[in-house]
């Protein structure tokens, strides 16, 4: 079956530091990959996506590249801000069938001023 594995948190960084959150997946075929962000007390917001190998998703300074050879989709940002503090979820979905999202367990990011 499909599964997503994320690095455990919390990840604590100082403002303007470089961020990497690792994500690897197991899936048959060619899934679409997503990063969602959840701010305290809120639902999930789609941060970025990629649909095929070597695609790079980007949004709000965050980037992730779909690496089929390593089955990875690591999230990166060059300079984090306090406002980036949240829980980040890596997820995948097949583009056929019911297309339910399979999520990782989430990584909490804390950015200190």
Partner 1 sequence: ETGVTQSPTHLIKTRGQQVTLRCSSQSGHNTVSWYQQALGQGPQFIFQYYREEENGRGNFPPRFSGLQFPNYSSELNVNALELDDSALYLCASGTSGSSPYEQYFGPGTRLTVT
- Which residues within the stretch 40-79 sit at the binding site for partner 1 (CB under 8 A)? 42-46, 49, 51
> Which CB sits closer to partner 1, 17 or 85?
85
Cα-to-chain-centroid distance, residue 91: 7
The token duo for 107 is 């990584």
Residue among 19, 80, 89, 111 that touches partner 1 (CB under 8 A): 89
- Which residues within the stretch 7-46 sit at the binding site for partner 1 (CB under 8 A)? 32, 34, 36, 42-46
Alpha-carbon gap, residue 86 to 84, rounded angstroms: 6
Nearest Cα neighbor of 109 from 13, 4, 7, 5 is 13
Nearest distance from residue 49's CB to partner 1, in Å?
6
Residue 88 lies near partner 1 (rule: CB under 8 A): no
Nearest Cα neighbor of 35 from 44, 23, 51, 48 is 48
Nearest distance from residue 16's CB to partner 1, in Å?
28
Cα-to-chain-centroid distance, residue 10: 14
Residue numbers at the binding site for partner 1 (CB under 8 A): 4, 32, 34, 36, 42-46, 49, 51, 89, 91, 93, 95, 97-106
């Amino acid at each position: 079956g499909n599964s997503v594995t994320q690095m455990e948190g919390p990840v604590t960084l100082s403002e303007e530091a470089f961020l990497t959150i690792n994500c690897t997946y197991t899936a048959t075929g060619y899934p679409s990959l997503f990063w969602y962000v959840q701010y305290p007390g809120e639902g999930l917001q789609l941060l970025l996506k990629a649909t095929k190998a070597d695609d790079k998703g980007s949004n709000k300074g965050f980037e992730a590249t779909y690496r089929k050879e390593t089955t990875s989709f690591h999230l990166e940002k060059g300079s984090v801000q306090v406002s980036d503090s949240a829980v980040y979820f890596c997820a995948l979905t097949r583009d056929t069938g019911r297309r339910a999202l399979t999520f990782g367990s989430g990584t909490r990011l804390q950015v200190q001023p």
